[in-house]
């Protein structure tokens, strides 16, 4: 039985995997400091944002993070990452109005941040534009929205370039740009994925970089290498359901169905804290791993294969 994973557009892959840099488990670190990206020369992010990070990034609890994000925005309105996270959660919940509103707030706060912290200002300006581009494609469709989205993607890379001029080895920049570079390498011919992997290896926390590399290697069908990377990430966050699911999926794609099944079950034990679309996809893949035909699995899981 050939593995069956739902196809997505390249831009949708860009969005999902770029947001993964924001929406995946946070690496285990000795203490929750003001800046989880940088051990040396930390930037001011704020304790309310930390609470969102811990719930969402380390525990993989999207429901708790959604509530905590509201508190973080109220207490630290100058921090663009909170608006970016809220936009991402809106996207996952198919709240397109919320996506657009929070994407624009991400850009506004990023512009304001440029005077105080230009690197992060440029970085989150890029994220905000990217999120708004996702809204364009979702509301206008691929055919009509692609020209606008591509122009916005040029702006994204312009802002990332400005951040890179300030500090090309910054860990936060390395994570976000590494995700984008790797997905370009995955989806476009003649690109070099190893360069993107090298950039992700400069990211911190290492848990995030290992997960990002695992996602890219999965998409390159380098499953053995992807498995090594996801195992490294799981050492830092062993109960993160996103990571458990990623390992299950890599084993599924390796066609090691028996090994994948306990991991799907383990990840699905956290279903009440995960996005509904993620849960449906996991159930779909678990059903396939059990040897059931695709149309039956789609019906059982409530997933749309169209």
Rounded average pLDDT over 4-17 = 46
178, 200 contact by CB (below 8 A): yes
Q: Given a cut of 90, is residue 51 above it in pLDDT?
A: no
DSSP code of 178? H
Calculate the CA 122 to chain-centre distance.
Answer: 19
129, 11 contact by CB (below 8 A): no
pLDDT at 220: 85
193, 221 contact by CB (below 8 A): no
Mention the CATH class of domain 10-168: mainly alpha
State the pTM of this model: 0.82
Rounded average pLDDT over 29-38 = 46
pLDDT at 174: 84
Joined together, the tokens standing for residue 18 give: 């770029």
What are the domain boundaries of the chain? 10-168
What's the chain's Rg over C-alpha atoms?
Answer: 18
Length of the chain measured in residues: 306
Helix-strand-coil split of the chain, %, nearest 5: 75, 0, 25
Nearest Cα to 105, choosing from 135, 128, 72, 134?
128
Joined together, the tokens standing for residue 260 give: 């994948």
């Amino acid at each position: 039985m050939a593995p069956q994973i739902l196809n997505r557009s390249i831009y949708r892959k860009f969005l999902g995997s770029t947001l993964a840099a924001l929406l995946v488990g946070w690496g285990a670190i000795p203490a929750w400091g003001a800046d989880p990206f940088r051990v040396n020369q930390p930037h001011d992010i704020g304790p309310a944002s930390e609470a969102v990070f811990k719930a969402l990034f380390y525990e993989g609890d999207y429901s708790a993070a959604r509530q905590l994000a509201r508190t973080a925005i109220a207490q630290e309105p100058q921090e663009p990452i909170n608006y970016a996270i809220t936009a991402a959660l809106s996207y996952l919940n198919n709240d397109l109005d919320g996506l657009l509103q929070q994407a624009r707030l991400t850009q506004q706060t990023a512009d304001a941040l440029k005077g105080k912290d230009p690197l992060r200002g440029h970085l989150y300006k890029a994220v905000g534009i990217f999120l708004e581009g996702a809204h364009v494609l979702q509301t206008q469709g691929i055919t009509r929205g692609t020209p606008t989205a591509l122009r916005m993607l040029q702006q994204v890379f312009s802002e990332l370039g400005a951040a890179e001029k300030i500090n090309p080895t910054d860990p936060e920049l390395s994570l976000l740009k590494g995700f984008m570079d790797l997905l370009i390498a995955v989806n476009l011919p003649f690109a070099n994925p190893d360069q993107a992997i090298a950039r992700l290896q400069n990211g911190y926390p290492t848990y995030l970089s290992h997960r990002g590399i695992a996602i890219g290697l999965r998409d390159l069908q380098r499953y053995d290498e992807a498995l090594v990377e996801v195992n490294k990430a799981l050492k830092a966050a062993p109960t993160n359901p996103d990571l458990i699911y990623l390992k299950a999926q890599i084993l599924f794609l390796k066609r090691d169905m028996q090994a994948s099944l306990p991991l799907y079950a383990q990840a699905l034990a956290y279903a009440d804290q995960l996005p509904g679309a993620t849960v449906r996809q996991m159930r779909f893949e678990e059903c396939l791993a059990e040897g059931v035909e695709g149309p039956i699995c789609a019906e059982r899981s409530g997933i749309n294969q169209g």
